[in-house]
């Protein structure tokens, strides 16, 4: 594994963890003046990479030392999966609902044409009314 | 001074309570005296503004007079604070910002009550609802977060100063803009709820509130973007959006407000989505309140959050109460909100609005979900998890890209039904143009298959180009029709076109601005950064730039001491600028603060503009040399240019239409697709 790979992994892993100083920033983006946490954590990350540990092992090591909040996003395990799934469930439900609504509206009977009422034959007055409506709806 | 302020607040509470109660009684009493009672309520509402304004003025005057007997002034100001920031003291702390919120609300109420003749009954309902919200804020100000509370013990000689993060020119305008947005949504909310309670016939309430809503949305947009720019220019981490809960809180009402601005057109034009629009404006108002709850309650940790306090409970009770009232009337009066028309085709403007609303709400839900998931996780698993930028980027970006696709396609669809031929004709040029942009990106070395972030960047570029080409083609097509009929040149014809339907073409300009914002964001995966300790003459090479440390020095003034580096920036062997990244130490608060310096380089290629962003990270204590972090952030300036265009588009949309062109009765009505697909 070359230096370039390690550098990319450092950047990737550093963006998957939070600084623990309370700044609420991603580890590699914490720039608190004199922040003790981020400097120490960066050194630890670099040391773990130098040892040749894999990504999971490195992240586990940080979780053991700093607690689960050190990971910047919920892991795809246990209840944390719900965090990832819910937005897509909402999207799927939303699409289903919109398609249902569109179909229901499409099949709805035209309210202006009730049974038994004959459609009047167009004269100039009627056409003016339709033109007004068309302009309103199309903004011509 | 504090007695005057306290009295003004108490008076304002009494007046707004009277405005609410008398207005409420006047609405439901049928006798002759009800009109006079209603008028007294309206005048009490107007007087509330005067009283709250007096309280606000007193607080600002106290800041300028260094009246440290008032605890709020002691905690948020000091003698050497520059004048502009003393003015900003009004919204720099919890109590002051609540007073500012109340003042803006009273101001909106003042304007509304002066314009009551437009529709007296509807305005009376809206006035009562605004008075109710006003009472809530004034109750907090009088009993839970008093801005004129007196310092205990000996009078301090100086204050503890304003938070250094807030001592930046944008902080003088960012909070007012954001608050004008948050508070402004109370007006369409009040009209919507009023219209629902009184079963207001027709869509006139939407027409009355259209400008209020757009102005409010514009303020919120400016506020959100100024917040992002402030984070970029002050926090010094090289980014502008960190998905912090408080940032999220400002984005959520913006998303639902944007959805409302789109879907409300369906109600105006087709009499559809009435329940939906009501729900959206209720949600927007409640999300504005939720943002304030997040900031004040301390339930979610945030870099922006004020100290934990009891007023979070007040907001929670208010939100639940408002939700209950809105839900009750939505259910009780649902028969009043039946749609008047049917949908004729899936390929229509109506469907595109529905999907646009869906995607905006899914993004909003994702943000809400991510913001509150740590609390849910603690409840279920017994420990908190962090939901940070990786989550939001991974989940919200794909949905946002779909939204961008709809932004491009939506304007090409006609109301009711769009023929495949017209869609093909209108879509061909923008689609080919955007695909060409994608091809060029690959040609210039972007490999979307190598990394998800490159894939998203390429997709965002293609879709932004699609939006831009769609907007251009719509202007060109309409302009050509007018130019052909009126013998004007194309530019004049397009301006004429815009003036004939300001709302539609203003909206297109806003879409254009949104596409530019996305272009600004898509540069993120290509950011570079280098950190180095720099002595005299030391160099950093980053991208095509060479940064040379000319010197480093320090200074001192009554407000702060500072140290900075002098960095010359070269490109192609030629010096293009000198930058001064700085670190300050504020004396009153005893807090340090870095101030990055940003140089947007337009010189060689306007489109590929790049920010050179330098941060003075600190000083090596052993060598005494500055540690400089240099970022190269491509395309970021397009975000701020996009904002300006979005604001310009909103202003265009607010301009009244020129007189409608009279179509002779004998002129056959043309197919909509020939001059554009409609609003």
Domain identity same for A84 and A54: no
pLDDT at A118 over 90: no
B366 closest CA partner among B396, B342, B337, B394: B396
Give the total number of structural domains in chain A.
2
Q: Taking CA atoms, what residue in B is nearest to A134?
A: B669
* A75 backbone φψ class: left, alpha, beta (φ>0; ψ -120 to 50): beta
A interface test, pick of B386, B505, B585, B677 with most A CB neighbours within 10 Å? B386
CA distance A60 to A30: 21
B147 closest CA partner among B333, B4, B47: B4
The per-residue pLDDT for B584 is: 86
Name which of B344, B355, B388 is nearest A98 (Cβ-Cβ).
B355
Burial class (CB in 10 A: 0-12, 13-18, 19+), A88: middle
Q: Do A31 and B342 touch (CB under 8 A)?
A: no
The per-residue pLDDT for B296 is: 72
Helical (H) or strand (E) element with B34 = helix B33-64
CA distance A120 to A127: 11
Q: What is the pLDDT of residues B487-543, one digit of tens each?
A: 888 889 899 888 888 989 999 999 999 999 999 999 888 888 888 888 888 899 988
Q: Which of A127-136, B1-10, B56-65, B527-536 has the lowest mean pLDDT?
A: A127-136
Question: What's the pLDDT band for B323 if we cut at 50, 70, 90?
Answer: very high
Å between A24 CA and nearest CA of chain B: 6
* B577 backbone φψ class: left, alpha, beta (φ>0; ψ -120 to 50): beta
pLDDT at A5 over 80: no
Å between A15 CA and nearest CA of chain B: 8
CA distance B593 to B232: 14
Q: Taking CA atoms, what residue in B is nearest to A132?
A: B663
Domain identity same for A104 and A126: yes
The per-residue pLDDT for A132 is: 60
A interface test, pick of B367, B389, B595, B678 with most A CB neighbours within 10 Å? B389
Please check whether residue A75 lies inside any domain of the structure: no
B266 closest CA partner among B351, B196, B174: B351
CA distance B293 to B318: 10
The per-residue pLDDT for A130 is: 63
A106 closest CA partner among B313, B122, B272: B272
Domain identity same for A30 and A62: yes
Q: Do A139 and B344 touch (CB under 8 A)?
A: no
Name which of B388, B399, B675 is nearest A91 (Cβ-Cβ).
B399
CA distance B525 to B537: 31
Question: What's the pLDDT band for B129 if we cut at 50, 70, 90?
Answer: very high
Domain identity same for A91 and A62: no
Burial class (CB in 10 A: 0-12, 13-18, 19+), B376: middle
Q: Do A29 and B238 touch (CB under 8 A)?
A: yes
The per-residue pLDDT for B181 is: 93
Question: What's the pLDDT band for B363 if we cut at 50, 70, 90?
Answer: very high
Domain identity same for A52 and A96: no
Query: Does residue B243 contact residue B227 with C-beta atoms inside 8 Å?
Result: no
**Segments of A7-109 assigned E as strands:** none
Asked if B370 reaches chain A (Cβ–Cβ under 8 Å), the answer is yes
Please check whether residue A114 lies inside any domain of the structure: yes
CA dihedral (B226, B228, B229, B231) positive or negative: positive
DSSP letter at A28?
G
Q: Do A29 and B237 touch (CB under 8 A)?
A: yes
Last residue of a domain, one of A49, A70, A91: A70
CA distance B265 to B357: 12
Residues from chain B that touch A89, judged by Cβ atoms under 8 A, are none
Last residue of a domain, one of A70, A102, A123: A70
When pLDDT is averaged across residues A122-128 and rounded to a whole number, the result is: 56
Asked if B207 reaches chain A (Cβ–Cβ under 8 Å), the answer is no
When pLDDT is averaged across residues B423-431 and rounded to a whole number, the result is: 84
Domain identity same for A57 and A86: no
Question: What's the pLDDT band for B678 if we cut at 50, 70, 90?
Answer: very low
Please check whether residue A38 lies inside any domain of the structure: yes
Å between A51 CA and nearest CA of chain B: 24
Q: What is the pLDDT of residues B287-317, one digit of tens each?
A: 999 887 877 766 666 655 555 567 888 899 9
Helical (H) or strand (E) element with B575 = strand B574-579
When pLDDT is averaged across residues B454-469 and rounded to a whole number, the result is: 94
Q: Do B399 and A25 touch (CB under 8 A)?
A: no
Residues from chain A that touch B302, judged by Cβ atoms under 8 A, are 24
Q: From residue B573, give the alpha-carbon distance in Å to each of B546, B568, B631.
A: 8, 11, 19
Q: Do A72 and B384 touch (CB under 8 A)?
A: no
Residues from chain A that touch B399, judged by Cβ atoms under 8 A, are 87, 91
pLDDT at B74 over 60: yes
Name which of B362, B394, B618 is nearest A90 (Cβ-Cβ).
B362
Å between A53 CA and nearest CA of chain B: 22
Lookup: tokens for B566: 């002098």
Domain identity same for A58 and A89: no
CA distance B627 to B631: 13
Residues from chain A that touch B269, judged by Cβ atoms under 8 A, are 136-137
Please give the mean pLDDT across all residues of chain B.
86
Name which of B362, B370, B594 is nearest A91 (Cβ-Cβ).
B362
pLDDT at B619 over 80: no
CA distance B522 to B461: 7
3-state secondary structure of B578: strand
Estimate the crossing angle of helix B274-297 against helix B186-197, to 10 degrees: 130
Query: Does residue B27 contact residue B127 with C-beta atoms inside 8 Å?
Result: no
Which residues are within 8 A (CB) of B169 and not within 5 positions of it... i.e. 6 or more apart? B84
Domain identity same for A59 and A14: yes
CA dihedral (B634, B640, B643, B647) positive or negative: negative
CA distance B474 to B501: 13
Q: Do A138 and B672 touch (CB under 8 A)?
A: yes
Helical (H) or strand (E) element with B372 = helix B349-381
Residues from chain A that touch B366, judged by Cβ atoms under 8 A, are 87, 90
Domain that holds residue A110: 80-138
How would DSSP label each residue in B175-233?
A: HHHHHHHHHHTHHHHHHHHHHHHTT--SSHHHHHHHHHHHHHHHHHHHHHHHHHHHIII
Question: For chain B, what is the total number of helices (H) and then of strands (E)?
Answer: 19, 10
CA distance B221 to B104: 17
List B residues 610-629 in contact with A (Cβ-Cβ < 8 A): 615, 617-618, 629
Q: From residue B311, give the alpha-carbon distance in Å to each of A137, B73, B141, B143, B305.
A: 47, 20, 10, 10, 13
CA distance B676 to B679: 9
Helical (H) or strand (E) element with B617 = strand B610-619
The per-residue pLDDT for A126 is: 60
Q: Do B237 and A25 touch (CB under 8 A)?
A: yes
Q: How many CA atoms lie within 13 A of B157 on its CB side?
A: 1
Domain identity same for A85 and A107: yes
Asked if B411 reaches chain A (Cβ–Cβ under 8 Å), the answer is no
Question: What's the pLDDT band for B215 if we cut at 50, 70, 90?
Answer: very high
Q: Taking CA atoms, what residue in A is nearest to B380?
A: A79
Q: What is the largest CA-CA distance in chain A?
A: 88
The per-residue pLDDT for B662 is: 43
Name which of B389, B618, B678 is nearest A139 (Cβ-Cβ).
B678
Q: Do B415 and A138 touch (CB under 8 A)?
A: yes
Q: Taking CA atoms, what residue in B is nearest to A12?
A: B390
pLDDT at B240 over 50: yes
Domain identity same for A24 and A49: yes
Last residue of a domain, one of A70, A97, A129: A70
Q: Do A111 and B415 touch (CB under 8 A)?
A: no
Please check whether residue A124 lies inside any domain of the structure: yes
The per-residue pLDDT for A59 is: 92
Question: pTM of the full predicted structure?
Answer: 0.88
Domain identity same for A17 and A62: yes
Q: Do A83 and B377 touch (CB under 8 A)?
A: yes
Name which of A33, A97, A131 is nearest B669 (Cβ-Cβ).
A131
Tell me which residue has tokens 């057109």. B265
Query: Does residue B208 contact residue B118 with C-beta atoms inside 8 Å?
Result: yes
Domain identity same for A14 and A46: yes
> What's the residue count for chain B?
679
Q: Taking CA atoms, what residue in B is nearest to A22?
A: B303
């Amino acid at each position: 594994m070359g230096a370039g790979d390690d550098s990319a992994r450092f950047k990737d892993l550093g963006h998957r963890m939070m600084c623990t100083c309370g700044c609420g920033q991603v580890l590699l983006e914490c720039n608190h003046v004199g922040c003790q946490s981020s400097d120490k954590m960066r050194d630890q990350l670099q040391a773990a990479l130098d040892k040749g540990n894999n990504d999971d092992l490195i992240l586990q090591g940080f979780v053991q030392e700093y607690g689960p909040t050190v990971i910047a996003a919920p892991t795809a395990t246990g209840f944390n999966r719900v965090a990832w799934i819910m937005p897509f469930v909402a999207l799927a439900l939303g699409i289903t609902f919109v398609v249902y609504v569109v179909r229901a509206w499409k099949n709805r009977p035209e309210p202006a044409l009730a049974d038994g009422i004959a459609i009047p034959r167009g004269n100039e007055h009627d056409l003016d009314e339709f033109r007004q409506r068309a302009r309103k709806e199309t903004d011509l | 001074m504090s007695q005057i302020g306290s009295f003004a607040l108490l008076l304002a509470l009494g007046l707004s309570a009277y405005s609410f109660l008398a207005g409420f009684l006047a609405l439901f009493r049928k006798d002759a005296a009800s009109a006079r009672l209603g008028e007294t309520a309206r005048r009490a509402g107007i007087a509330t503004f005067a009283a709250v304004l007096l309280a606000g003025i007193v607080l600002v005057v106290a800041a300028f007079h260094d009246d440290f007997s008032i605890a709020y002034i002691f905690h948020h100001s000091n003698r050497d604070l520059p004048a502009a920031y003393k003015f900003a003291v009004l919204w720099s702390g919890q109590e002051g910002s609540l007073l500012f919120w109340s003042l803006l609300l009273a101001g909106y109420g003042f304007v509304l009550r002066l314009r009551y003749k437009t529709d007296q009954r509807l305005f009376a309902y809206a006035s009562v609802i605004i008075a109710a919200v006003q009472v809530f804020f004034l109750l907090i100000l009088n009993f839970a977060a008093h801005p004129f509370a007196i310092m205990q013990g000996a009078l301090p000689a100086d204050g503890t100063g304003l938070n250094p993060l807030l001592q930046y020119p944008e902080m003088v305008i960012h909070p007012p803009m954001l608050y004008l947005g948050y508070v402004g949504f109370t007006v369409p909310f009040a009209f919507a709820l009023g219209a629902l309670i009184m079963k207001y016939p027709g869509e006139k309430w939407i027409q009355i509130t259209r400008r209020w809503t757009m102005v409010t949305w514009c303020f919120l947009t400016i506020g959100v973007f100024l917040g992002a720019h402030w984070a970029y220019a002050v926090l010094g981490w090289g980014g502008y959006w960190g998905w912090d809960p408080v940032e999220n809180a400002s984005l959520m009402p913006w998303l639902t407000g944007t959805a409302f601005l789109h879907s409300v057109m369906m109600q105006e034009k087709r009499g559809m989505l009435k329940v939906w629009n009501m729900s959206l404006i209720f949600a927007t108002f409640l999300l504005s309140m939720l943002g304030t709850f997040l900031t004040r309650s301390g339930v979610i940790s945030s870099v922006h959050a004020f100290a934990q306090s009891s007023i979070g409970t007040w907001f929670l009770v208010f939100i639940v109460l408002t939700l209950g009232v809105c839900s009750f009337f939505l259910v009780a009066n649902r028969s009043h909100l039946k749609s008047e028309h049917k949908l004729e085709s899936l390929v229509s403007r109506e469907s595109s609005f529905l999907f646009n609303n869906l995607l905006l709400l899914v993004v909003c839900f994702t943000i809400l979900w991510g913001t509150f998931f740590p609390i849910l996780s603690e409840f279920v698993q017994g420990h908190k998890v962090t939901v940070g930028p990786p989550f939001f980027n991974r989940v919200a970006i794909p949905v946002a890209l779909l939204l961008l696709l709809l932004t491009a396609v939506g304007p090409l669809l006609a109301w009711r039904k769009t023929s495949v031929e017209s869609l093909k004709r209108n879509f061909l040029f923008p689609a080919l143009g955007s695909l060409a942009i994608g091809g060029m990106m690959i040609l210039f070395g972007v490999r979307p298959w190598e990394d998800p972030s490159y894939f998203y960047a390429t997709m965002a570029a293609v879709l932004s180009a699609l939006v831009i080409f769609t907007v251009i083609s719509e202007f060109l097509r309409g302009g050509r029709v007018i130019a052909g009929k009126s013998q004007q040149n194309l530019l004049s014809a397009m301006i004429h076109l815009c003036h004939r339907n300001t709302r539609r073409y203003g909206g297109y300009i806003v879409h254009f601005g949104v596409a530019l914002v996305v272009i600004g964001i898509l540069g993120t995966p290509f950011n570079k950064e280098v950190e180095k300790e720099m002595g005299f003459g030391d160099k950093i090479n980053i991208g095509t730039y060479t940064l040379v440390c000319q010197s480093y020095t320090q200074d001192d003034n009554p407000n702060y001491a500072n140290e900075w580096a002098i960095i010359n920036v070269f490109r192609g062997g030629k010096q293009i600028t000198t930058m001064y990244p700085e670190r300050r130490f504020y004396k009153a608060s005893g807090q340090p603060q870095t101030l990055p310096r940003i140089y947007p380089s337009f010189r060689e290629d306007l489109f590929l503009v790049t920010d050179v962003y330098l941060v003075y990270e600190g000083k090596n204590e052993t060598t005494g040399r500055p540690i400089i972090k240099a970022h190269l952030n491509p395309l970021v300036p397009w975000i701020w240019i996009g904002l300006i265009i979005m604001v310009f588009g909103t202003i265009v949309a607010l301009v009244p239409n020129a007189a409608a062109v009279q179509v002779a009765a004998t002129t056959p009505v043309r197919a909509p697709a020939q001059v554009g697909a409609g609003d």
